[in-house]
Structure 1
Amino acid sequence: MAKKPCEFPTAVLSFRRFLQRRFLGGRHHHRPTSTTATEYIGVNAVIGREVIAVAGRYVGLLVDHIDMDDGGFVDEVMEETKRGKGDGAVGLAGVGSKMHHLFSRYCKETYVVCDADKKEWQPVPREKYPKPLIFHDGRLAFKLTPCAAVAMYTYLPWGIFLAVFRSLAFGLLPYRVSVPLAAFTGMRSRLIAGPSPDATRRNSGTAGGRLYVCNHRTLLDPITVAAVLNKPITAVTYSVSPVSELIAPIRTARLTRDRDEDRRRMEALLARGDLVVCPEGTTCREPYLLRFSPLFAELTGEVTPVALETRIDMFYGTSTKPAAKWLDPFYFMLNSRPEYHVEFLQPVSTAPVDGEAGGHGHSINAANRVQRVLGEALAFELTEQTRKDKYEMLAGNKGNVKGEAKM
């Protein structure tokens, strides 16, 4: 069987078109590599050394051997080959890997990755991903090389001071003081030119507060909207840690997950003042919009979409781990130059359009219209993914955490 040096990402992407089975092997850690390779690259199986776990936690050590027949994949390949499915199997392995002998026996071709190939690797553009990468977890927003790790630990003491200082500034000082003070430390909020929310409210002549509908990037979304407006605003939440609610500089109101009760509460809040809601129900780091919950479209005849985008350089301010969610705002402010882009868009009517029936169906259509408006403004791709999909993929649960309230 042929052994050829190749560039690994190119090999995976090109063979996807005409080969039925693809296998990856080498000296890498099996479990962290397996999910990414099988879920997003299209590799059928990953063979490698397992990471040792003690009490459900990885300790950073590897087992001494590799189970070559783990999962019975060899028998499966041979059976499919006998049935004539595809053009055989392809093996991808590194130089010096013991996988060569195994792949040579069962794979039609074996491609070997050498150091010279690795030096020519380039990140694959998002539009060329075999499968969209919508959800991912973890705190680090950069490639962890030795030099980057040293830089991070060198910056960390100063970063912790900045995060504490910024948090205290937003929690204790008025926005007209805290926003310039945060900008002095490198934290920026950029308002993109758009219609004035107060002007559109006067023109509409509606009573009560205005309903702002935002895409959800971090837990700081409602606070950022309030800071840009420079006035009090209420955010409705569920699945937010009690600590985050306690230290929030704006008023928060918990929802109950009961549709009728939540609608009554939101209507009462809207009658007393401005209200901000993130109908995605959970944060999304990538340029995608999750499916919008339609409840907000039943509260008022007009909503103001607010397009939010964030820029970070070191740490992600989101997490799916319940015990770590209260640290989400802290991690965002831990970045050296965190940035928010805010754009108030033209109000969108939530009333039924011509020929559209009322009821729950029209609210779904209205929510979809608002989602499209935000997607066009941000150049984000619309999806049907939900909070449940995110937590099932990243945390193995439905995201219903006892003791927490969803933004």
Structure 2
Amino acid sequence: MESVVSELEGTLLKDSDTFSYFMLVAFEASGLFRFALLLILWPLIRLTDSLGMKDTGLKIMIFVSLAGVAKSEIESVARAVLPKFYMDDLHMKAWRLFSSYDKRVVATKMPRIMVERFVKEHLRADEVVGTELCFNRFGYATGSVVDDSISQRVADIFGQQGAPTLGMARSSHHSFMQLCKEQIVPPFVTRQKQEQEALRPLPVIFHDGRLVKRPTASTSLLILLWMPIGIILAIIRITLGFTLPFWVIPYVSRLFGGKVVVKGTPPPPPLNGNSGVLFVCTHRTLMDPVVLSSVLHRQVPAVTYSISRLTEILSPIPTVRLTRIRNVDAEKIKEQLSKGDLVVCPEGTTCREPFLLRFSGLFAELTDRIVPVAMNYRVGFFHATTARGWKGLDPIFFFMNPRPVYEVTFLNQLPVEATCSSGKSPHDVANYVQRLLASTLGFECTNFTRKDKYRILAGNDGIVSYTSFAERMNKLVRTFKPFLH
């Protein structure tokens, strides 16, 4: 059996600097104060590294970002936040070489708890050797680590199996490299076997956290300097949304850095006595229905579920709160459609990555006047939705971005033969609309649901594992792929 041991930083990941990952943990697990403190200490950390005292710099980062943080909170950040940033920095050639071996071990100087989830589930590693954190009896990190040799622990893993076949690292002087039969340093060359199989790591579909970009020292400084300005800007933008007529908002928003790009032709408002149109939208942020209403120049009620009361209060459009009781919700939607237009997001929850979750078929049962709308957005600093934080802050974080951009694409109203009126099942109609919207945005369709998202982010492995979800997703993508071209 062929085996490989690979360094994580600078090998499987392109960047060898771990500072930004500790900044992420500091921000998401503890807040702005610890984030700022770690940034202030960055020059000292760099000085210790330049003097060859790399363990000192690492211990400073570990202590400042993790001391006093509950183990469960560290695990939550490692599960829901960090994988997205690891994946963005993944060195694909190194990973393909790594994945072509039968037994795969990753060595890292970061705490094992910060990388294990990503490395095992997305990179398909068998074992992880990293720095071990110390926790007190109450489950809080002390900020200290267990001093242990990485090379010794790698040797213990292989035991009687013999030496690893290949060692991958930035330098042949890395401690575990001396244990390996072969050694390789960058640039990495993909083996022919792996090129033929064209494997890819399991994608990160669900992730959480407020920060859009990996907080390197320069990016972190920009974020800290921008936040006071961003808060003032958010207050101004929200106030204008409350006070100005809807038809004015798209024009005024440009004066304050916002932009809305509209494609396609929106339908006219319903005539008196006629039922309204059901706008079926992709769900990117909580702002989707509000942006749609501003484009239509009128207040269109939106179907909501599980949003905070503060968000409802701040909302400039009417909201229709669902109960998740099917017959009750159906009556609510029918009643609203009899009065006029309505917005619904059948995914039931937001997804940040270029994937669409499974569409609920309820909307297809209630009307044949369906207009699909592809919504997408771009922000610079802060994500507008979160599963871990207080949802009431979601619109505020969205408006804190320097130049938020929304893209709204209206598709043609579904022909009658594509609706339930022609005898199609709600499930078929929902899948058809999902494929239309995915094709418009260049996204991939999945079979994931709202429950799947929160189970994955919550780490309920007793119920389901991320790997099984990703395998289901890949199977569904293969099924839908012919429809996306």
TM > 0.5 fold call: yes
Contact 2:6/2:105 (<8 A) preserved: no
Match of 2:399 in 1: 333
- Amino acid corresponding to residue 257 of structure 1 in structure 2: R
Match of 2:56 in 1: none
- Alignment: residue pair count: 368
Which of 318, 326, 344 is the aligned partner of 1:277?
Answer: 344
CA offsets 1:315-344 (integer angstroms, 9 cap, x no match) = 1111111x4211111111111000000011
1:324 aligns with 2:390: yes
Matches within 5 A, 1:40-59: 40-51=122-133
Contact 1:24/1:92 (<8 A) preserved: no
Q: Could you say if the C-alpha distance between residues 164 and 351 of structure 1 is closer, same or farther in structure 2, counting changes exceeding 3 Å?
A: same
> C-alpha separation between the residues in 2 aligned to 1:324 and 1:300?
35
Give the C-alpha shift of residue 167 in structure 1. 1.3
Match of 1:386 in 2: 449
Contact 2:276/2:337 (<8 A) preserved: yes
> C-alpha separation between the residues in 2 aligned to 1:394 and 1:2?
30
> C-alpha separation between the residues in 2 aligned to 1:206 and 1:134?
43
1:24 aligns with 2:138: no
Contact 1:12/1:42 (<8 A) preserved: no
CA offsets 1:298-321 (integer angstroms, 9 cap, x no match) = 010130001111011111111111
Q: Could you say if the C-alpha distance between residues 50 and 187 of structure 1 is closer, same or farther in structure 2, counting changes exceeding 3 Å?
A: farther
Question: The residue matched to 1:35 in structure 2 has which SS?
Answer: helix
Structure with more relative contact order (C-alpha pairs < 8 Å, separation 6 or more): 1
1:229 aligns with 2:296: yes
Match of 1:342 in 2: 408
Which of 213, 217, 220 is the aligned partner of 1:142?
Answer: 213
1:151 aligns with 2:151: no
Match of 2:29 in 1: none
Q: Could you say if the C-alpha distance between residues 97 and 30 of structure 1 is closer, same or farther in structure 2, counting changes exceeding 3 Å?
A: farther
> C-alpha separation between the residues in 2 aligned to 1:366 and 1:331?
35
- Amino acid corresponding to residue 191 of structure 1 in structure 2: V
1:215 aligns with 2:278: no
The structure with the largest strand share of the pair is 1
Q: Could you say if the C-alpha distance between residues 208 and 197 of structure 1 is closer, same or farther in structure 2, counting changes exceeding 3 Å?
A: same
Contact 1:93/1:112 (<8 A) preserved: yes
1:171 aligns with 2:234: no
Give the C-alpha shift of residue 132 in structure 1. 2.1
> C-alpha separation between the residues in 1 aligned to 2:421 and 2:332?
30
- Amino acid corresponding to residue 261 of structure 2 in structure 1: R
Q: Could you say if the C-alpha distance between residues 108 and 343 of structure 1 is closer, same or farther in structure 2, counting changes exceeding 3 Å?
A: same
1:296 aligns with 2:359: no
Give the C-alpha shift of residue 230 in structure 1. 0.8
CA offsets 1:45-75 (integer angstroms, 9 cap, x no match) = 221113456766667x3413248699x9977
- Amino acid corresponding to residue 109 of structure 2 in structure 1: R
Gapped runs of 5+ residues in structure 1? 118-126, 399-407
Give the C-alpha shift of residue 44 in structure 1. 2.2
> C-alpha separation between the residues in 1 aligned to 2:278 and 2:420?
23
Contact 2:246/2:297 (<8 A) preserved: yes
The structure with the largest helix share of the pair is 2
Match of 1:401 in 2: none
Q: Could you say if the C-alpha distance between residues 232 and 356 of structure 1 is closer, same or farther in structure 2, counting changes exceeding 3 Å?
A: closer
Q: Could you say if the C-alpha distance between residues 99 and 257 of structure 1 is closer, same or farther in structure 2, counting changes exceeding 3 Å?
A: farther
- Amino acid corresponding to residue 131 of structure 1 in structure 2: L
**RMSD over aligned Cα atoms:** 3.6
Gapped runs of 5+ residues in structure 2? 13-90, 189-197, 462-485
Tell me the TM-score normalised to structure 2 length.
0.67
Give the C-alpha shift of residue 249 in structure 1. 0.7
Give the C-alpha shift of residue 41 in structure 1. 2.1
Give the C-alpha shift of residue 214 in structure 1. 0.3
Give the C-alpha shift of residue 396 in structure 1. 3.1
Q: Share of identical aligned residues, percent? A: 36
Contact 2:368/2:420 (<8 A) preserved: no
Match of 1:245 in 2: 312
Question: The residue matched to 1:262 in structure 2 has which SS?
Answer: helix
